[in-house]
Structure formats: C-alpha cells, structure tokens
Amino acid sequence: MKYRISATLLALLVSGSATAGKLVEKVDRFKGTRTVAWESFSDPNRGYSFNVYAFYSKPDDSKPFGYYTLLVPPFGTDSFSSCSENYWLVDDKPVPELKAAFESMGSSQTFRSTPSRSVLEKLATAKKVEFKICNTESALDASDLSGIRKLLDATR
C-alpha cells in the first residue's frame, strides 16, 4: 500500500512537471548573443505548447532586439503541411500579427511568428488566447500565458 501511494505521488509529480515550462537564459559564446526564453514542454496529454524567445545582440544589452514564438502541435498530430493557415483570437478579437509561418523538419512541426513586444504584452494580459489551424482549434493554457508574463518581466 505504501509503495502504491509513493508511486502515485511520483507519477503526479512527473506528469505535473511535464506540463510546465521554464524561463531560461543562454549566452552563445561563439556569436556573442543572448537569448531569454519561456520554453513550454510538448506532452501528448498537454496539447499544444508555446515557446517565446527574446534575442539580444550582445549579452550586456539592456533591451532585446526582437522576439519570436513557436507553437508546437502535440506529438502524433496529423501533418499541417497541406494546410497551415492559422488565425488567432485574443479575448475574442482577431490578432493578425500572430499569424505564423509553418515549418517542418522530419516529424517535427512548428508555427513561428515574430510578434512585437506590444503584441506579447496583449497576450500576457489576455484572459483567453485561441488559435485555429485549418479546421483545428485550440488555445494557449494558463501556464503559457504566465510564461509570457515571466519573459516580459525578465526582458524589461
């Protein structure tokens, strides 16, 4: 009985950490650039994951020179290569600035956009962020919206 309870608690912890994300900072020693990122982890039970990156041209720059996002479909999702049109709603209002380009490498699919900081700020304060790819609809989860806020706070 004790073993079953421990195993159940461990499974809950592992599954909980698999759906979370984290804020990371990396400096590329070769290029002399710095990246701050909210990296959300893709998990078949989680649905889509959303990653946001801020780039600095030098490690000691005070402000990023740009941002990009990656929306990653869950593993096993049918290919969007023949239909990758995507549309975004933030609190039920269209946001064409989030329209993303489809990229595919092997079995990996991503949708990449380059929003401005003001668009990311709109996402960070939203109650609901939804997207539609062809006929597939989904939404960013609370963890990803929180991650966007963390990234914006870290890159002021």
Give the CATH number of the domain where residue 105 resides.
2.60.40
Count how many domains the chain has: 1
DSSP string for residues in 28-78:
ETTTTEEEEEEEEPPBTTTB-EEEEEEEESSTT-SS-SEEEEEEEPPTTPP
The pTM of the full predicted model, rounded to 2 decimals, is 0.80
User: CA 88, CA 131: separation in Å to the nearest integer?
Assistant: 4
Query: Is the distance from CB of 86 to CB of 133 less than 8 angstroms?
Result: yes
Q: What is the pLDDT of residues 7-63, one digit of tens each?
A: 333 333 333 344 578 999 999 999 999 999 999 875 556 788 899 999 999 888 989
Domain limits for position 48:
2-154
Please tell me which residue, 79 or 119, carries the higher pLDDT value: 119
Average model confidence (pLDDT) across the chain:
85
Q: What is the pLDDT of residues 76-89, one digit of tens each?
A: 788 898 999 999 99
